[in-house]
Amino acid sequence: MQQRKGVERRTVLKAAGASLAVTGLGATATACGGGSGSGDGTVTIRYAWWGAEDRARRINKTIDLFEKKYPKIRVKTDFQPYSDFWKKFNTQASGGNPPDVFQNAIGFLRKYDAKNVLLDLEEQVKAGNLRMEGFRAGLDTFGEIDGKLLGVPVGSNSMALVIDKPVYARAGITPEMGWTWDDFDEAMARVRDRTGRAGDSGMYGVMYLYDLYLRQNGKAFFTEDALGFTESDLTRWWTKAEKGVTSGLFADPKKVAQIKPKSALSAELAGSEFTWDNFTVRYTSEGRSEYGLAPIPTTDGKRTGQYLGSLMLSASRRTEHPVEVARFIDFMVHDPEVARIMGYDRGVPATTAQYAAYRPTDPVNKAIAAYEESLVAADVLEPVTPHPNGADICEAAFLRIGEELGLGKRSVADAVEQFFDESKTALGS
């Protein structure tokens, strides 16, 4: 665990309430979100997130600013790598002592709402402690579930095709908005034939790409309480992916696994890779080439199925300091200086004030901003697909089973059956 230096707890935490296990909160549970108060009116709230050291450094700077503006509020921090974060959070939530405010994602909203972990922030909006105006491209509703405001976006991103620009130039490919999957398949063949490199890193386990493909065809990965596609749908998707590897259109999964954590694109195994637009920074730091963002292929030449996704800040239902937590969230999503410190670390700033405050000068981040602006201008953005309770387990299963399929450990039929078995259990369907 990492903690900011110089921030001390003012009082001992009050006793934790009853367990947030599957049976839910007990009726007599004692409210306890981990925040503390002192005799001079100063309170301490706990803030947790996932990420690396650089994100921690940036966030700590923003907290310093917040504490100067609100000297009666102290913030105690904790950050972990992604998987470790959720392991620790699950333990804290089950013990009735989650952090007061924490980084969140859409795949976890219904899950933790069902376990009575998340605070509905709408009351704080009505009280004037949290502003929900001034968000970009409909992001103000991104954290709303069943009429409750369970998360506030801090940044946005969208799926894109990251390309090796010199490779695409040698292959004579210029992707444009509205190109089709047939165009994409032809492009993969041209990269293979003209550059000696696989066209793409592979599509086995990219759940969010498959979601876009389904949305283009009138379906979606999730409905509000189940999967939104059939075994036949997934069989066709994974069969196409398998054939792409066999024909050399997609990179050899065994080689991709060998060079991890480096990406197949930056390792020069492939000419492109589907991922979130703000991950472009990764390829520039890993690879030797110049990378760019290309549009998502379409089924009909128009609909991409895209939406702006976002990391969010959520609050614990058990916090003793909902007002202070709301003010903290408001500061983090609206204050212009926060944007100048964070840059695009958590995506393109979600509010117009922060978006205007930070205008990147480096080519990579300028390209990310231009890409998202192009999506707005093309009017392709749609509402986000609902994510039911258990979506995070389905996502992990899709990635794991897709990798096993790629490595030859499962047949397509076996992989599809295994995924649906695990997903039905996770979703209770």
Predicted pLDDT of residue 72: 97
pTM above 0.85, yes or no: no
Residues (pLDDT < 50) of the chain are: 1-33
Q: Are 132 and 149 in contact (CB under 8 A)?
A: yes
CA distance 12 to 38: 10
Closest listed residue to residue 82, CA positions, set 392, 315, 364, 307: 392
Predicted pLDDT of residue 122: 98
Overall CATH class of domain 159-306+382-427: alpha beta
Predicted pLDDT of residue 35: 57
What architecture (CATH level 2) is domain 36-154+310-358? Answer: 3-Layer(aba) Sandwich (3.40)
- The encoded tokens of residue 365 equal 């981040």
Predicted pLDDT of residue 84: 92
Q: Are 296 and 159 in contact (CB under 8 A)?
A: yes
Domain ranges of the chain: 36-154+310-358, 159-306+382-427
CA distance 427 to 398: 14
Predicted pLDDT of residue 40: 79
Are 36-154+310-358 and 159-306+382-427 the same fold in CATH?
Answer: yes
The Cα angle at residue 387 between residues 261 and 56, in degrees rounded to 5: 45
For the chain, state the CA radius of gyration: 22
- Give the pLDDT confidence of 170-219 residue by residue, as tens digits: 999 999 999 999 999 999 999 999 999 999 999 898 999 999 999 999 99
- Give the pLDDT confidence of 18-66 residue by residue, as tens digits: 333 333 333 323 334 455 666 678 999 999 999 888 899 999 999 999 9
Predicted pLDDT of residue 280: 84
The Cα angle at residue 110 between residues 14 and 323, in degrees rounded to 5: 40
